[in-house]
Structure 1
Amino acid sequence: MTLPRGKDFRPPWPLRSGHIQTMLSSSGVRRLLLPRAAKTVLQGAEPVVLDGGGGVRLSGAYTAQKTRPQSRGLAVLFHGWEGSVDSTYVLQTGSRLLADGWDIFRLNFRDHGDSHGLNEALFHSCRLDEVVHALGEIATRWSARPMAVAGFSLGGNFALRAAMQTSRVGIPLSYALAVCPIIDPAVGLFSLEETAPWFYQAYFMRKWRHSLLLKQKAFPQHQYFEMSELKKHLRGLTEALVLRHTDFKSLQQYLDGYSVAGDAMLAMQIPATILTAKDDPVIPVGSFEQLRLPPNVELDIAEFGGHCGFIRGGDMVSYTDDYIAARFNALADGTSPIG
């Protein structure tokens, strides 16, 4: 079977604009126009609270497939920063894999979705251990094999880092796929502030400030920030919270803590795929072009797609559905999931 490639994605004009792709990817318009089949993962979904280790709790949702006598495997999906298990792209991907016979687990990172009241300490992007611990519980409670993970943006970064840890700790993860993952956080932060159009930073900052206010409401006895800090831009607020709530001595040290740039992924022991687009206005393509990867990690750079968009047409369905499903299904069928 020939696996789909990034070069195969050739959307019609005006969907060849990376900005349009990016803006549509998480828009309310897209959610309204998506076909009903893109939301079937919600039907019969079981809300779950997982053990993240050390008293940490993470929320999620499990949906068992009903289309085949036996499940093809277990697909775990990670959303992006300030997304959730109910983000459009997560529902769409989960629904497609469900239709193909996969059981689906959608995981919320700490302080995402409606989980702000589960843990007193704030989310930050270096909290990998709790995600890996949760993956271990998922693998134990739902034993369908193979088990594969797909993540988007920051979720793609988590998927890649978790995949390098699961082999070491004995969690039976077989494959990881990352769509437009954050590679070098320092570069991504600089890009959002200095080179990307202003409305991207405004969008993320609005969602982040709202999330922080929800956290403060959930734990009124704990002061997470000064109100003046909420008025800072992305870099300033990130630095303020890092210095206040983590053991990192500087913003740069924190950003390096979740970087997968350079030769970091040479440690990957399982097959993995990275899909991105040259016209992604959020994650610069140069970060991908400088990666040093082992043979079991596939880097696929498309001409078009924006940031986690890859929208094919007026139905708002993403090409990533076919792309992810083909690779997951190849894994389940015993063939290579990388091209």
Structure 2
Amino acid sequence: MSLPQGKDFLPPRPLRSGHIQTMLSSSGVRRLLLPKAAQTVLNGAEPVTVDGGDGVRLTGAYTAQRTQARSRGLAVLFHGWEGSVDSTYVLQTGSRLLADGWDIFRLNFRDHGDSHNLNEALFHSCRIDEVVNALLDIAQRYPSRPMALAGFSLGGNFALRAALRAPAVGLPLSYALAVCPIIDPSEGLFSLEEAAPWFYQAYFMHKWRRSLQAKQAAFPHREYFELSELKQSLRGLTASLVMRHTDFDTLEAYLDGYSVAGEALANMHVPATILTARDDPVIPVDAFEKLRLSANVELDISTYGGHCGFIRGWDMTSFTDDYIAARFNAIAPA
């Protein structure tokens, strides 16, 4: 059976702009235009709090499939930075996999969704241990096999790092797929400031500041940032986060802490796929082309798609649904 490839994605001409693809990917307009089938994963979804280890609690939602006598397996989905289990792309992917017979677990990272009040310490991108511990808890609670993982943007980065750690910690992960993952955080952060249009940084900063305000309201006795720090640029506020809330001595050390650039994936034992787009305006394609990958990792660079867009047409559905479903289904035939 042949699997869909990034080269197969050819949207109509007005949608061949990486900027249009990116802006539509999480827009309210897209959510309104999507068919109802893109939200069926919400039906009967069970809110769950899972164990991240060391007293950390993370939230998520579990939906059991009802389309066939036996589940194909468990699909776990990771959202991007300042997204949530209810992000459009997560719901759409979850709904498609659910229809194909997968049980679905959508996980919120710390301080995402409505989980700001669960853990006093702030989220940052090097908190991989609690995500891996959460996956171990999820695997134990819902022992459907195989277990497959898909993540978007920062969630794709977390998915790749979780897959790297899976064999050593006994996580029964069969496959991981990352859509437009952050590869080299230092390059991605700087490109967002220096190369990408201003509105991308404005969008992310607005969401991040709003999240930090929600965190402050949840723990009023803590001062997470001074007001002057919240007014800084993306790089400046990230540097303040590192100094105040991590054990890293420098911004550069923190960014290296969640990098999967260069040879970081050369020893990946879990089969994995990385899908990205050459016209992604948020994450430069150069970092993908410099990767040294193990034979278990498939790198697929599409000409079009923007950042986590891959929108096929005016119904706002995404090519990634078929792409992810085909690869998940290949490891778990019906």
TM range (shorter): over 0.9
Aligned residues: 334
1:246 aligns with 2:240: no
Return 5+ residue gaps in structure 2 as ranges: none
Distance in structure 2 (CA, Å) of the matches to 1:179 and 1:271? 15
Give the equivalent residue in structure 2 for 1:166. Answer: 166
Q: Distance between the aligned counterparts of 1:28 and 1:191, measured in 2?
A: 26
| Superposed counterparts of 1:73-112, under 5 Å | 73-112=73-112
Correspondence for 2:206: 206
Q: Is 1:314–2:303 an aligned residue pair?
A: no
Partner residue, 1:337: none
Q: How far has the Cα of 1:241 moved from its partner?
A: 1.1
Aligned-partner residue type, residue 246 of structure 1:
T
Task: Tell me the equivalent position of 2:256.
Answer: 256
What displacement does 1:94 show?
Answer: 0.1
Shift of 1:266: 1.1
Q: Which residue of 2 aligns with 1:36?
A: 36
1:31-58 deviations in whole A, cap 9, x for unaligned?
A: 1001000000000000000010000000
Structure 1 residue runs of 4 or more that deviate by more than 6 Å after TM superposition: none
The one-character-per-residue Cα deviations of 1:71-91 (angstroms, maximum 9, x if unpaired) are: 000000000000000000000
* Matched letter for residue 300 of structure 2: D
1:189 corresponds to 2:189: yes
Aligned runs of 1:284-295 on 2, under 5 Å?
284-295=284-295
Gaps of 5+ in 1: 335-339
- Equivalents in 1 of 2:191, 2:330: separation in Å? 35
Aligned partners of 2:194, 2:176: CA distance in 1, in Å?
31
CA positional deviation for 1:269:
0.6
- Taking the aligned partners of 1:241 and 1:52, their CA distance within structure 2 comes to 21
- The residue matched to 1:228 in structure 2 has which SS? helix
Q: Does 1:221 find its partner at 2:221? A: yes
C-alpha displacement of 1:333: 2.3
The DSSP-based 3-state class of the residue aligned with 2:50 is strand
Partner Cα separation in structure 1 for residue 228 and residue 252 of structure 2: 22
Deviations 1:183-215 (A, max 9, x none): 000000001000000000000000000000000
How many angstroms apart in 1 are the aligned matches of 2:29 and 2:285?
27
What's the secondary structure of 1:305's corresponding residue?
A: coil
**Separation in 2, partners of 1:311, 1:91:** 15
In the alignment, the residues of structure 2 paired with residue 18 and residue 310 of structure 1 have an alpha-carbon distance, to the nearest angstrom, of: 9
Deviations 1:289-315 (A, max 9, x none): 000001110000000000000000000
| Residue number in structure 2 paired with 1:2 | 2
Equivalent-residue separation in structure 2 for 1:18 and 1:153 (angstroms): 15
Residues 159-203 of structure 1 show CA distances to partners (whole Å, capped at 9, x for unaligned) of: 000001111111100000000000000000001000000000000
Identity of aligned residues (%): 78
Q: Which amino acid aligns with 2:273?
A: T
Normalised by the size of structure 2, how large is the TM-score? 1.00
Distance 2:27 2:176 in 1: 26
User: Quick one: which amino acid aligns to residue 145 of structure 2?
Assistant: R
TM-score, normalised relative to structure 1: 0.98
Structure 2 counterparts to residues 145-160 of structure 1, below 5 A: 145-160=145-160
Give 1:224-239 correspondences, 5 Å limit.
224-239=224-239
The whole-number CA distance in structure 1 between the counterparts of 2:167 and 2:310 is 31
Counterpart code for 1:288:
F
How far the C-alpha of 1:138 sits from its partner, in A, is 0.5
Per-residue CA deviation, residues 92-140 of structure 1 (Å, 9 max, x unaligned), is: 0000000000000000000000000000000000000000000000000
* Secondary structure of the corresponding residue to residue 97 of structure 1: helix
**1:146 Cα offset (Å):** 0.3
Letter in 1 for 2:28: G
Alpha-carbon offset, residue 240 of structure 1: 0.5
Q: What is the CA distance between 1:326 and its match in structure 2?
A: 0.1
Return the alpha-carbon distance in structure 1 between the equivalents of residues 288 and 247 of structure 2. 29
Whole-Å separation in 2 of the counterparts to 1:307 and 1:246:
28
Deviation at 1:9, TM superposition (A): 0.1
How far apart, CA to CA, are the structure 2 residues paired with 1:127 and 1:295?
Answer: 27
SS of 2:215's equivalent in the other structure is: helix
CA distance in 2, matches of 1:138, 1:247: 28
Amino acid paired to 1:25: S
Secondary structure of 1:267's aligned partner: coil
SS at the partner of 1:265? Answer: coil
In the alignment, which residue of structure 2 is the partner of 1:23?
A: 23
Distance 1:144 1:136 in 2: 13
The whole-number CA distance in structure 1 between the counterparts of 2:180 and 2:55 is: 31
Task: Provide the secondary structure at the position in 1 that maps to 2:186.
Answer: helix
Residue 72 of structure 1 corresponds to: 72
Counterpart amino acid of residue 25 in structure 2: S
**How far off is 1:270 after superposition?**
1.0
Q: 1:303 is matched with which residue?
A: 303
Supply the AA of the counterpart residue of 1:58.
L
Whole-Å separation in 1 of the counterparts to 2:307 and 2:3:
22
Matched letter for residue 228 of structure 2: S
For 1:83, what is the secondary structure of its paired residue? coil
Match of 2:51 in 1: 51
